[in-house]
Amino acid sequence: MPVIAVVDYEMGNLHSVCKGLEKAGATPNITYSPKELEQADAVILPGVGSFDPAVQHLRARGLEQPIKDAIASGKPFLGICLGLQILFESSSEGTQPGLGIVRGKVRRFLPEPDIAIPHTGWNQLQVTQPKSILWEHLPSDPWVYFVHSYYVDPIDPQIRAATVTHGTQTVTAAIAHENLMAVQFHPEKSSNIGLQILSNFVAQVREKIAA
Q: Does the annotation count 188 as an active-site position?
A: yes
What would the mean pLDDT of 160-181 be, rounded to a whole number? Answer: 98
Whether the model clears a pTM of 0.95, i.e. scores above it, the answer is: yes
Of 77, 192, 72, the C-alpha closest to 139 is 192
Confidence of residue 10 (pLDDT cuts 50, 70, 90): confident
**Rounded Cα gap, residues 89 and 164, in angstroms:** 22
Confidence of residue 40 (pLDDT cuts 50, 70, 90): very high
Phi, psi of 103 (to 5 degrees): -75, 135
Q: Is the pLDDT of residue 95 over 90?
A: yes
**Rounded Cα gap, residues 118 and 110, in angstroms:** 11
Confidence of residue 13 (pLDDT cuts 50, 70, 90): confident
Q: Given the DSSP bridges, would you call strands 160-166 and 169-177 parallel, antiparallel or unpaired?
A: antiparallel
Q: Is the pLDDT of residue 12 over 80?
A: no
Q: Does the annotation count 22 as an active-site position?
A: no
Question: pLDDT tens for residues 122-164?
Answer: 999 999 999 999 999 999 999 999 999 999 999 999 999 999 9
Confidence of residue 211 (pLDDT cuts 50, 70, 90): confident
| Domain 3-210 CATH (choose: 1.20.1600.10, 3.40.50.880, 3.20.20.100, 3.50.50.60) | 3.40.50.880
| Structural domain spans, the chain | 3-210
Question: pLDDT tens for residues 43-72?
Answer: 999 988 999 999 999 999 999 999 999 999
Q: Would you tell me how many other CB atoms lie within 10 Å of the CB of residue 132?
A: 17
**Rounded Cα gap, residues 141 and 138, in angstroms:** 8
57, 119, 148, 186: the catalytic one is 186
Gap between the terminal Cα atoms of the chain = 15
Q: Contact, 167 vs 115, CB < 8 A? A: yes
18, 119, 166, 188: the catalytic one is 188
18, 81, 119, 166: the catalytic one is 81
